[in-house]
Amino acid sequence: MTATATPDAPPDAAGPVPEPVQKPPLLKPAVRKRLVPYWLLLPGILWLLIFFAAPLIYQASTSVQTGSLEEGFKVTWHFQTYWDALREYYPQFLRSVLYAATATVMCLALGYPLAYLIAFRAGRWRNLVMILVIAPFFTSFLIRTLAWKTILSDGGPVVGALNSLHILDVTSYLGITEGQRVLATPLAVVCGLTYNFLPFMILPLYTSLERIDPRLHEAAGDLYARPITTFRKVTFPLSMPGVVAGTLLTFIPATGDYINAELLGSADQKMVGNVIQSQFLRVLDYPTAAALSFILMAAILTMVTVYIRKSGTEDLV
Amino acid sequence: MTALTRWIRRNLVVIAGLGTLAYLILPNVVVLVFSFNKPNGRFNYQWQRFSTEAWTDPCGVADMCGSLSLSLKLAIWATIGATLLGTMIAFALARYRFRARSAVNSLIFLPMAMPEVVMAASLATLFLNMGVDFGFWTILIAHIMFCLSFVVTAVKARVMSMDPRLEQAAQDLYASPAQTFVRVTLPIAAPGIAAGALLSFALSFDDFIITNFNAGSTVTFPMFVWGSAQRGTPVQINVIGTAMFAVAVLCVLAGQLAGARRKRS
């Protein structure tokens, strides 16, 4: 972003705009005109500052408080809370990152073909497929997550099929399922996460794939590239902005999610979101909940920064 | 056989894509099918026998329709609030160069890039310490807060791609700034505003995490569903889920048709 501070620039940003010369006396004074964007911003930005930014700062102060609900909490710069929270809940942190990363990779693997299909192969069905991708967005995602409980239920068709194909033996050996069950195992939670965040992967992928000129594919074919080479050397690199945006949009919310772990998992699949939720709403230990939120935020910020650097698309956001 | 394998190889992307589509739609199909179930016990996870009971009596469960109408009310107000505030910000960002522009851009971007649970817990901490009573207003404030960024993004994209010469032409034809805005600018920005509003409505209506932290004892529809996962899920939840899916598909279809007609004329 090039935020050139030119206070008296004309309101229409693009190009030199000739001021309407017809009615000079009616022109507002330059100062009032300069204030227009600030007046437009004021209510919304105030809203975000008061209800988004200020709470985060407040949260920071809460995380270094000690006390109890009865006596009240006081800022005592008790940084020990962070250390204690990390030491006690590092399995949940690791699990969150692991589950979210797996779900993100699954989303990419599942979402890419569908985005590709919509962008290049759907033809006149494009709108219909698009509707089928977006429509689940508008139905309650808790209801759909509960539906997974039915789909993956013990003795249901999915478990039965996996069992008769001896896939459950393999997955149990790998430790992602347990015995004859899929529910209450890591597989179920990752399956739910993948499902819930798939649209967030497909839409940015589709947007960046759609921008690719199909003639580039023809050109690659004319130069004797096999389809797989065309994909590897032309399509995939050009879709990188979508891949980066999609992985971020999937990974970040998936790390903080606690609904899938709660509905499809058991106590052994609890993620950091579950811990924050129970510390805040059940145990009422606000400092620990605040410290956990901050560790989660810091971890995500670090990972995202490293990822954006590595993928070389700093100008994305 | 080789013809078949060749066909499969050539259409591998289509097959995989349709597989993903099936994965996306499957839960909706299950919700539809199980809305005709007559469960044996409190939980509606196993197929027993066909019944249209839930469809003929959708509000037969205590508190469910109350929570549904509360969610609708919240979503409507959150949409109005977020769309108004967000559109104003979007116009300021798309049309004006001013100091602090990049700071405003990051303030808009951050709520979308933050795990919901962090936002939820911090806002609830603030409310708690200010001694605010949790309920309708705290939920509404929270919803407007997280929907705002999505509206700004949708509207900004539309306004940025708009030809500024159209407004200059209006000015040249002696339209006042207000007339230019109402007759030219607003109609062109309308699809972006509509997209932002639709997105806010869906986000607000469906939000669980932020609502759960900021609702107190108020129960919205997603919270009702959450609670029912522990207490027992009435079949009526599937009826509502199916109806929502149908309404969503019809809305998107109508939007597409309207868009196609506009393109043709």
Q: How many CA atoms does the CB half-sphere of A164 hold within 13 Å?
A: 6
Q: How many CB atoms lie within 10 A of CB B257?
A: 11
Residues of each domain in chain B carrying CATH 1.10.3720.10: 62-233
pTM for this entry: 0.87
Q: How many CA atoms does the CB half-sphere of A194 hold within 13 Å?
A: 23
Q: Which of residues 86-105 of B touch A (CB under 8 A)?
A: 86, 88-89, 91-92, 94-102, 104-105
Contact residues, chain A, for B161 at CB < 8 Å: none
Q: For residue A263, what pLDDT is reported?
A: 93
Q: Which helix (H) or strand (E) holds A68?
A: strand A65-68
| Confidence bin at B43 (pLDDT 50/70/90) | confident
Asked if A273 has any chain B CB less than 8 Å from its own CB, the reply is yes
The answer regarding whether domain B62-233 maps to CATH 1.10.3720.10 reads: yes
Most distant CA atoms of chain A, gap in Å? 85
Q: For residue A316, what pLDDT is reported?
A: 47
The residue behind tokens 């102060």 is: A61
Contact residues, chain B, for A139 at CB < 8 Å: 28, 31, 206, 241, 244-245, 248
Q: Could you give the CA distance from residue A84 to residue A88 in angstroms, rounded to a whole number?
A: 6
Nearest to A14 among B99, B164, B172 (CB): B164
A67 DSSP 8-state letter: E
Q: For residue A1, what pLDDT is reported?
A: 41
Q: For residue B264, what pLDDT is reported?
A: 65
Q: For residue B101, what pLDDT is reported?
A: 87
Q: For residue A172, what pLDDT is reported?
A: 86
Q: For residue B98, what pLDDT is reported?
A: 85
Q: Is-contact B229 A146, C-beta < 8 A?
A: yes
Which of these, A205, A200, A197, lies nearest to A115 by C-alpha position? Answer: A205
Q: Which of residues 213-242 of B touch A (CB under 8 A)?
A: 213, 221-222, 225-226, 229, 233, 237-238, 240-241
Distance from CA of B86 to the nearest CA of A (A): 6
Quickly list H helices, chain A. 30-48, 54-63, 80-116, 126-134, 141-151, 157-164, 167-174, 186-210, 214-222, 227-230, 236-238, 240-256, 259-264, 272-278, 286-311
Q: For residue A20, what pLDDT is reported?
A: 53
The residue behind tokens 């798939």 is: A198
Reduced to 3 states (helix: H, G, I; strand: E, B; else coil), residue A181 is strand
Tokens of A113: 């073909």
Asked if A315 has any chain B CB less than 8 Å from its own CB, the reply is no
Q: Could you give the CA distance from residue A93 to residue A272 in angstroms, rounded to a whole number?
A: 5
Give residue B107's identity as a one-letter amino acid code.
L
Angle at which helix B116-130 crosses helix A240-256, to 10 degrees, equals: 50
Tokens of A167: 């896939």
| Residue, of A186 and B254, whose pLDDT is higher | A186
Q: How many CB atoms lie within 10 A of CB B209?
A: 24
| Confidence bin at B135 (pLDDT 50/70/90) | very high
Closest alpha carbon within chain A to B103: A3
In B123-166, the DSSP E strands lie at none
Which of these, A111, A143, A160, lies nearest to B19 by C-alpha position? Answer: A111
- Which pairs count as long-range contacts for B160-169, CB under 8 Å and 24+ apart, including other chains? B160/B94, B162/B188, B162/B189, B164/A12, B164/A13, B164/A14, B164/A15, B164/A17, B167/A12, B168/A12, B168/A17, B168/A18
Closest alpha carbon within chain A to B243: A139
| Confidence bin at B1 (pLDDT 50/70/90) | low
Give B12-36 as a DSSP string: HHHHHHHHHHHHHHHHHHHHHHHTT
Q: Is-contact A115 A202, C-beta < 8 A?
A: yes
Q: Is-contact A33 A261, C-beta < 8 A?
A: no
The phi, psi pair for A178, rounded to 5°, reads -135, 120
Q: Which of residues 284-303 of A touch B (CB under 8 A)?
A: 286, 289-290, 293-294, 296-297, 300
Q: What average pLDDT does this structure show over B97-106? A: 88
Q: Could you give the CA distance from residue B63 to residue B217 in angstroms, rounded to a whole number?
A: 13
Judge: A277–B116 Cβ closer than 8 Å, yes or no. Answer: no
Mark the ranges of chain A whose per-residue pLDDT is less than 50: 1-14, 25, 314-317
Q: For residue A92, what pLDDT is reported?
A: 95
Q: How many CB atoms lie within 10 A of CB B153?
A: 19
Those residues whose C-beta lies under 8 Å from the C-beta of residue B156, and which sit 6 or more positions away, are B90, B93, B94, B192
Distance from CA of A105 to the nearest CA of B (A): 14
- Residue of A150, A203, A272 to mutate, interface with B, max B Cβ within 10 Å: A150
Which of these, B144, B137, B149, B146, lies nearest to B215 by C-alpha position? Answer: B137
| Confidence bin at B123 (pLDDT 50/70/90) | very high
